[in-house]
Amino acid sequence: MSGGGPHPREAGAAGAGVSLGLRALSKRYEGSGAPALDGVSLDVAAGEFVSLLGASGSGKTTTLMIVAGFTPPDAGEVFVDGRPIVHLPPERRGIGVVFQSYALFPHMSALRNVVFPLRMRGAASGEATRRAERALERVGLAGLGHRLPGELSGGQQQRVALARAIVFEPGLLLMDEPLGALDRALREQMKAEIRRLHRELGITILYVTHDQEEALTLSDRIALMDRGRIVQLGSASDLYERPASAFVARFIGESSIVEGTVTATGDGGIGLAPDLGGPVLPGSGTLRPGDPAALLLRPEKLLVRPSGDPDGGLAARVEDIVYVGDVSRLELALGGSLRVTAKQANRRDIFQPRIGDDVRVRWARDEALLLPASVASTTPTKERTHV
């Protein structure tokens, strides 16, 4: 991967990605009350793709800027391949950065923008130009190097920014909402591009987004942030299937969350007696009878059957059906004022009830998680986007 001449990377060993360690990072900006970061620790393996996901103001950019070296932390340390780097200036950290706002020099051609970081690091002019051209080629911009940023589309400018960040072959690439300014089609294209670059370069990526779909589709692991802390770190399916709290469950994907008290069920399992009344809802988890809890029901785990179905289930009435093309969303009344949502594929071989029908609904107990109620009351502030 590295060309001739001195290896441009300052921190990190030869080879592709470097490991990144964040230890107890804290940051409070001058004049603001709550800390922007409140003890953030995170380990990213060499070559791994980790996303910081969270609502606006949760501390994602602050974390990235501390790693890049543009913002000093109040406390804590950052390690690259096990070596502390907080004392190093940005240009000596060997880290590539892509900002949301491209941050290209408007008066320089695309090629000169990409050459810039190499010249800063002392590369000879001819060698720098060759490498910049190769980087532009990598991001699909061969032949456009002579254009000024103002003569390129938004997507092309973002590619120039990407080329500039990878041209010195950093072991770690930081990206802050890099697709935020692009329309949907371009975003999809750039997502595929970023995945390909990650694969080809073997580079370590720390990626910031508030878009859960982007985080779920791009990352090996996701760190979900809330008010300056990481509230859960795991794979997409960890966060979706095994959220640590109702906060995480609400943030990732769709769900019905029912609050109540854990109770023993006749079959030796546990369930939830809902505060709103209605039947006991079977669930699973480590809570004990009597504990206040929130039951997490993902809509696609619910199976809706005719009322006479021999396999049983809870009696419900279909209150509403929203047709969404591939699926329909069914609002089910379960007794009391309890409502849950089911989602099912629009397929002829699947039972399709009508509004007002009496039905049965059931789910696998181990797919309905009972979460501690103490954390159930915090509602994420972000606008919802669905998986």
Ligand X SMILES: Nc1ncnc2c1ncn2[C@@H]1O[C@H](COP(=O)(O)OP(=O)(O)OP(=O)(O)O)[C@@H](O)[C@H]1O
Angle at 68 between CA 154 and CA 234, to 5 degrees: 85
| Alpha carbon distance 108, 102 (integer Å) | 13
Least distance in Å: CB of 46 to Mg ion? 25
Identify residue 321 by its one-letter amino acid code. I
Number of residues that bind ligand X (CB under 6 A): 12
Span interacting with ligand X, options 14-22, 50-58, 112-120, 261-269, rule CB under 6 A: 50-58
Task: Tell me the CA distances in angstroms from 192 to 52, 189, 196, 253, one per residue in order.
Answer: 19, 5, 6, 22
Span interacting with ligand X, options 49-57, 165-173, 216-224, 367-375, rule CB under 6 A: 49-57
Using the rule CB under 6 A, is 298 a contact of ligand X? no
Least distance in Å: CB of 366 to ligand X? 34
Angle at 249 between CA 334 and CA 46, to 5 degrees: 155
- Specify whether the CB–CB gap between 206 and 64 falls below 8 A: yes
Helices (H), 219-373: 236-241, 246-251
Q: In this complex, which beta carbon is closest to ligand X, that of residue 15 or of residue 35?
A: 35
Q: In this complex, which beta carbon is closest to ligand X, that of residue 229 or of residue 301?
A: 229
Which residue from 29, 70, 105, 351 is in contact with ligand X, where contact means CB under 6 A?
29
Provide φ and ψ at 93, rounded to 5°. -90, -15
Rounded to the nearest angstrom, the gap between the alpha carbon of residue 289 and the centroid of all alpha carbons in its chain is: 34
Nearest Cα to Cα of residue 63 among 214, 217, 226, 298 = 226
What's the chain's Rg over C-alpha atoms?
25
Which structure tokens are listed for 268?
């030796």
Q: Which of residues 62-121 bind ligand X (CB under 6 A)?
A: 62
Which residue from 19, 58, 61, 156 is in contact with Mg ion, where contact means CB under 5 A?
61
Span interacting with ligand X, options 52-60, 145-153, 272-280, 338-346, rule CB under 6 A: 52-60
Q: Which of residues 338-367 bind ligand X (CB under 6 A)?
A: none
Using the rule CB under 6 A, is 210 a contact of ligand X? yes
Using the rule CB under 5 A, is 58 a contact of Mg ion? no
Which residue from 17, 54, 283, 353 is in contact with ligand X, where contact means CB under 6 A?
54
Scanning the structure block, which residue is given the tokens 């023993």?
Answer: 264
Using the rule CB under 6 A, is 56 a contact of ligand X? yes
Q: In this complex, which beta carbon is closest to Mg ion, that of residue 61 or of residue 156?
A: 61
Q: In this complex, which beta carbon is closest to ligand X, that of residue 47 or of residue 178?
A: 178
Span interacting with ligand X, options 29-37, 86-94, 146-154, 295-303, rule CB under 6 A: 29-37
| Alpha carbon distance 79, 339 (integer Å) | 48
Q: In this complex, which beta carbon is closest to ligand X, that of residue 115 or of residue 225?
A: 225
Using the rule CB under 6 A, is 39 a contact of ligand X? no
Span interacting with ligand X, options 51-59, 111-119, 156-164, 230-238, rule CB under 6 A: 51-59
Which structure tokens are listed for 381?
């502030």
Q: The sheet that has 83-84: what strands, in order across it? A: 37-44, 20-27, 75-80, 83-84
Q: In this complex, which beta carbon is closest to Mg ion, that of residue 61 or of residue 341?
A: 61
62 Rama sector, left if φ>0, alpha if ψ -120 to 50, beta otherwise: alpha
Using the rule CB under 6 A, is 8 a contact of ligand X? no
Q: In this complex, which beta carbon is closest to Mg ion, that of residue 163 or of residue 225?
A: 225
* Residue 36 interacting partner from ligand X, Mg ion, none (CB closer than 5 to 8 Å by kind): ligand X
DSSP element (H, E) containing 306? strand 303-306
3-class DSSP state of 260: strand
* Residue 351 interacting partner from ligand X, Mg ion, none (CB closer than 5 to 8 Å by kind): none
- Specify whether the CB–CB gap between 343 and 329 falls below 8 A: yes
Using the rule CB under 6 A, is 61 a contact of ligand X? yes
* Residue 255 interacting partner from Mg ion, ligand X, none (CB closer than 5 to 8 Å by kind): none
Which residue from 36, 66, 95, 161 is in contact with ligand X, where contact means CB under 6 A?
36
3-class DSSP state of 196: helix
* Residue 54 interacting partner from Mg ion, ligand X, none (CB closer than 5 to 8 Å by kind): ligand X
Using the rule CB under 5 A, is 256 a contact of Mg ion? no
Which structure tokens are listed for 365?
């107990």
Provide φ and ψ at 59, rounded to 5°. 110, 10
Residues near ligand X (CB under 6 A): 29, 32, 36, 54, 56-62, 210
Residues near Mg ion (CB under 5 A): 61
